Amino acid sequence: MNPARVLLVVLFLVGLSATIFNGADIYSRLLLLSLLIALVSWAMSYLGARGLALQRRTRTLKARVGDVFEEHFEILNRGRFITFWLEVLNESNLPGAAGSRVLTRIASGQTRSYTSRTWLTRRGRFDLGPTTLTTSDYFGLFQSARKFPAQESITVLPAIYDVTSFPYLPGLLSGGQVIRRKSMDVTPHASGVREYVPGDPLKRIHWPSTARRARMMVKEFEQDPQSEMWILLDVQSRVHAERKQDAPAPTPETWLFGRRPKFQLPPSSIEYAMSISASLAHYFARQNRAVGLVAAGRAYTVIQAERSERQESKILETLAFLSADGRMSIAALAAAQARQLPSGSGVVLITPTVYNDILNAVDDLLRRNLRPVVILLM
């Protein structure tokens, strides 16, 4: 028990009992003194906590597994009393979240700030808070706390490893030659211009040719010769496994000589599957290939194949929230999606399954003139 609080209780009991049985003025003053100390201490503790303000700032709200996340804490004492000690408790659900500190002697109107660093080891979305500030009075008799709710959240994307090569899955024509067949869709391969026909989208008007010829001209496009790349991710709960980590990941404060240790994915097959999917999506995006993603967790997720940096970001954000909670097998997933894929598309199946489902899935894709590649997790 707090010694100062024990002393105050003893002082109060002595003053109260002596006042009742003796009635001397000194004992009544002793009783009033103990009550006054308790009241003033409680008021100082309460007002001190109410006068604290907190601000948490960060440079980015998106990061990848394996990155070091930096966050800036700033505490302002707006009260009239000095804060002799202050405990900052970061209650974020971010694994290994740093930021909890004990600060001393914060004068009235003074601001105290520091930077915390957290090594990101899990993907997902995590709240940056709540944060609890705890302080006490000068005598340490009472403690008061003020909780600040989370204002922002960080999205942790899967880890991306550098893929230098991947089995080449050719498109409809070898050598990347342009198909001499007109396409109604806008593709990266413009073949020329023609006169405007009622019904043509205005975004396809070629204004320089229109100005030169004094009549409306629109751009024509040809089909894309490169095959689309589709990532079929197996998130069936019964085929994935996870082992509890032996020890928590070291924090940046404990790194030897400030050197970051080599990052290792958690011992979980679903985390390896997510990282492989993210790395392949990044690789195909750099190769300017149209890439899409299909997964059947609690919800059936389909991201249509496109080529752009925005497409890569969309896939990575989707992977950040997927978990191994699905019921559909990889064979059922491939059969359901194969009908929707263009002929000649490449299909990458990522799964840890050892059942015959994977063989059935490959046979079904081959019959539909698709080009499957299986990445089997051990």
| Distance between CA atoms of residues 30 and 8, nearest Å | 11
Mean pLDDT of 290-294: 92
pLDDT in tens, 317-334: 999 999 988 888 888 899
Q: Which of 70-74, 137-141, 186-190 is predicted with the least confidence, judged by mean pLDDT?
A: 186-190
DSSP string, 39-87: HHHHHHHHHHHHTEEEEEEES-SEEETTPEEEEEEEEEE-SSS-EEEEE
Q: Which residue has the higher pLDDT, 34 or 152?
A: 152
Predicted pLDDT at 181:
45
Q: Which of 7-11, 138-142, 358-362, 370-374 is predicted with the least confidence, judged by mean pLDDT?
A: 7-11
Predicted pLDDT at 128:
93
Q: Which residue has the higher pLDDT, 184 or 206?
A: 206
Contact 275, 156 (CB under 8 A): no
Predicted pLDDT at 378:
82
Predicted pLDDT at 197:
81
Q: Which of 1-10, 34-43, 122-131, 181-190 is predicted with the least confidence, judged by mean pLDDT?
A: 181-190
Mean pLDDT of 348-371: 86
**Does the pLDDT at position 296 exceed 60?**
yes
| Distance between CA atoms of residues 57 and 93, nearest Å | 17
- Residue 18: band (very low, low, confident or very high) from pLDDT cuts 50, 70, 90: low
Q: Which residue has the higher pLDDT, 25 or 69?
A: 69
pTM, 2 dp: 0.75
* φ, ψ dihedrals at 308, nearest 5°: 180, 165
- Residue 257: band (very low, low, confident or very high) from pLDDT cuts 50, 70, 90: low
User: Three-state SS for 262?
Assistant: coil
